[in-house]
Amino acid sequence: MTHKHVLSSAYKLIGIKSGVIVAAIIALALLPLYGSAHAINVGILVFSYLALGQMWNLLAGYSGLVSLGHQAFIGIGAYTLAVVTVSYGGGFFMSFLISIVIAVLFSLVISFPIFKLSGVYFTIGTWIVSESVLMFFRNWRFVNFDAGMNITRAFRIPQENLYLGALALGIVSVALVYFILRSKMGLSLMAMRDNPAAAEVRGVHLYKTKLICFLIASTFITITGVLLYMNIAFVMPGPAFGIDWAVSMVFIVVIGGIGTIEGPIIGAAIYVFLRQFLFNFPGMSLIILGSIAVIVILVAPKGIMGAIHGKFGFELFSVRRKMED
């Protein structure tokens, strides 16, 4: 096969892929016109969880920063929304802006101590940070302690608006991770994940790379937290800062396929559809969800996308650089 032929085939494939992706995005964006209320509701959850999963994957799958504490940022987003809209009568746009500022500042503050840890110690450290924030909010009178806050302004947001917001967030999260990984920084992240010492010798600035990745993921998770709670409309510290969020993110990424961009897409869809289905089994849902996770890990340790890639070599969003002949 000639060089020209290979390139031509590659361009053709890229063209088909791009066409399919654009068609799918258009179909999804038009869902409010032809889908049921339930479809829109499920869509909000899928794309919100997709954004969470994608960011956790960026941290754990591509950078080796396995965090069990990023639910803190969901809680920060939720409470920013509640305080801005309820306590100060602000709008949703203002909530997003302020949540970004808080997320960046908080990430910078905790990064100093937390980046001194690595491996499992980093994981535990992030969890401790999250639990500390939870305790702080539970004992903070300004946010009504553990009693929660009704985000009354969110009661009457049309579902279509929430859906489009979640869809945008989901798409941006995928695009963001894709372009980061296609950039020089993506190479640095993966090098750092695979062998930090070797990466540093080759010129990767470990602290700076980790910090940028951490900032991006934390900020995006915070924004997703704002959107999630625009849907939930009632925030309490326990659930907002709860480990359940981290478990969801891990489930989505591990089931879908860690270290792949498609993995969180598949994982988020499976997770949300499963949760919807498991409403049919009250009291048993978490047991069933856990069992499914165990089975999938045993059968396909690299997740569904990892298994598909292993068998068919298929990737929708390839971040690999291929050498030209």
Partner 1 sequence: MKRRAILAAALCLVFALSLAACNGGSAPGGTPAGGGDAGGGDAAWTNGGVVPDREYILVGWAAPMSGPQSIFMMPTQWVVDMMLDHINNNLGGIEINGRRIPLRVVFADNESNPTTAMAAAERLVTNDRVDILLGTWTPVGTNTASAVAERHQIPTFVFGAPEESWLDGGPYEWAVGMNFNYYNLVRDLVNIWTRVDTNGRVGLVLDTTVDGTVGRDTVTGILDELGGFEVVDPGAFDAATPDFTGIISRLRDEDVQIIYADMNTPNASRFWSQLAEFDFIPRVVTINRGLHYAADVGRLEPNAVGLTYSALWDRNYPFSSSLLGESAYGIAARWEDDHGEHYPYSLGYDVALFDILYDVLTRAGTLERNAVMEAFLTTNIDTVFGNVTVNENRNMRVPALGTQWIEGDRWPLQKSIVSADTFPFVDTNLPIVIPQTTQ
Q: What is the distance between the alpha carbons of residues 147 and 102, in angstroms, rounded to a whole number?
A: 23
3 state DSSP class of 235: strand
Binding residue (CB under 8 A) for partner 1 from 7, 27, 117, 124: 27
Residue 314 engages partner 1 in binding (rule: CB under 8 A):
yes
The burial class, CB within 10 Å (0-12 / 13-18 / 19+), for 63 is buried
Q: Which is nearer to partner 1, 89 or 313 (CB)?
A: 313
In the complex, the smallest distance separating the C-beta of residue 115 from partner 1, rounded to whole angstroms, is 28
Site string for partner 1, 64-83 (x = CB under 8 A): --------------------
150 binds partner 1 (CB under 8 A): yes
Contact 56, 67 (CB under 8 A): yes
Q: Does 302 bind partner 1 (CB under 8 A)?
A: no
Cβ(213)–Cβ(57) under 8 Å?
Answer: no
Q: How far is the CB of 286 from partner 1 (least distance, A)?
A: 8
Please choose, out of 32-40, 103-111, 114-122, 214-222, the segment that lies near partner 1 by the rule CB under 8 A: 32-40
In this structure, are strands 234-235 and 149-150 parallel, antiparallel, or unpaired?
antiparallel
Q: Are 216 and 58 in contact (CB under 8 A)?
A: yes
Q: Which of 172, 276, 288, 302 binds partner 1 (CB under 8 A)?
A: 276
Buried (b) or exposed (e) across 1-16, using 16+ Cβ within 10 A?
Answer: eeeeeeeeeeeeeeee
Among 104, 187, 215, 232, binds partner 1 (CB under 8 A): 232
Report, in Å, the least distance between residue 58 CB and partner 1: 21
For position 286 contacting partner 1 by CB under 8 A, the verdict is yes
Of the candidates 63, 57, 58, 61, the residue with the CA atom closest to the CA atom of residue 204: 63
Report, in Å, the least distance between residue 265 CB and partner 1. Answer: 7
Q: Which stretch binds partner 1 (CB under 8 A): 107-115, 135-143, 184-192, 196-204?
A: 135-143
User: 190: closest CA among 261, 249, 125?
Assistant: 261
